[in-house]
Amino acid sequence: MSNGKHDVIGDIIRFLENEKEMYGPFSIEPEAKLRPSESTLNPEAPKQKTDKGLAEQRGDEQKKNLASGSEDQARTIQQKLANCSTLDELHSLCSASELLKTDLEGTNLVFGVGNPNADLMIIGEAPGFNEDKEGEPFVGAAGQLLNKILRAIDFSRKDVYIANILKHRPPDNRNPLAEERERSLPFLLRQIDLISPKIILCVGKVSATTLLDKDEALKRMRGKFYPFRGAELTVTYHPAALLRNKKWKRPTWEDVQAVRKRYDELGGKP
């Protein structure tokens, strides 16, 4: 049905890629174009300040990418994402996307699992060994605990939708890099919009700081509901953290009870 549309976009992408091969990377972002020539023309120009906030640094990073020619890529991926009107279409796009990969080779896509119409969405960090093997988020030890936590507030895994910030496993189970989170985020945001949950529960610091775009301690971010893309987003500890340290169990229990209460208040599906 949307094949015709995709073909046109495919043609445009191939055209732009051919152009780039002939003429080199180009950008129509005026700021990104201006910056380098400014400093070339005026070597005395003051150096950029370096004491910037994360959000601002993120903006700079994006501009750098734009300037280095990946703006086409960013724009075409935004177009492709906007064209995904179902989770299946988004799944196919994710399967084909190099942007989601980490530098660990041969990993499987871990797209997300659960009810596509869920009113509660759980977002973790990144797939680990078991998740990569199964192609499903939260199936290892942390996943078993997550299932128990969900059961304690009367949800089953099938009621909710579970995804991660990254859709591929990072090497050595290291934390996702800022750059990896940046590349994956547009795909996750589209996934969130397609599911359109009433509540998003971020488990762990990586998930919360990435979606809220602020670098605060988990302790400071939990206990609130933040407006987020038409939903309410809240934060609690990562189940893997609970397995390591019991002191977080109590606050997690409080957080998930608040999730259940808010879910019912907002008229979430029974």
Residues that bind ligand URA (CB under 6 A): 124-128, 131, 137-138, 140, 142-143, 164, 204-205, 218, 237-238, 240-241, 248
When computed from its CA atoms, the radius of gyration of the chain, rounded to whole angstroms, is 20
- Our CB check for ligand URA shows the closer of 114 and 127 to be 127
- Our CB check for ligand URA shows the closer of 93 and 122 to be 122
- Our CB check for ligand URA shows the closer of 16 and 153 to be 153
Question: Helix (H, G, I), strand (E, B), or coil: what is residue 53?
Answer: coil
CA–CA dist 128, 110 (Å, integer): 10
- CB of residue 217 to ligand URA, shortest distance in Å: 8
- CB of residue 197 to ligand URA, shortest distance in Å: 17
Question: Helix (H, G, I), strand (E, B), or coil: what is residue 232?
Answer: strand
- Our CB check for ligand URA shows the closer of 72 and 128 to be 128
CA–CA dist 12, 7 (Å, integer): 9
CA–CA dist 223, 142 (Å, integer): 22
- Our CB check for ligand URA shows the closer of 82 and 177 to be 177
- CB of residue 232 to ligand URA, shortest distance in Å: 20
118 neighbors 197 (Cβ within 8 angstroms) = yes
Tokens of 195: 């599911």
- Inter-CA distances, 263 with 88, 115, 144, 266, Å: 26, 15, 22, 5
- CB of residue 146 to ligand URA, shortest distance in Å: 8
- CB of residue 259 to ligand URA, shortest distance in Å: 15
- CB of residue 107 to ligand URA, shortest distance in Å: 13
Task: Tell me the residue number closest to ligand URA, measured at CB.
Answer: 124
- Our CB check for ligand URA shows the closer of 114 and 143 to be 143
Q: Which residues pair with 164 in a beta bridge?
A: 124
Tokens of 106: 């041969």
Q: How many residues does the chain have?
A: 270
Q: b/e per residue, 70-105, with b = 16+ CB within 10 A? A: bbbbbebbeebbeebeebebbeebbeebebbbbeee
- Our CB check for ligand URA shows the closer of 99 and 221 to be 221
- CB of residue 203 to ligand URA, shortest distance in Å: 7
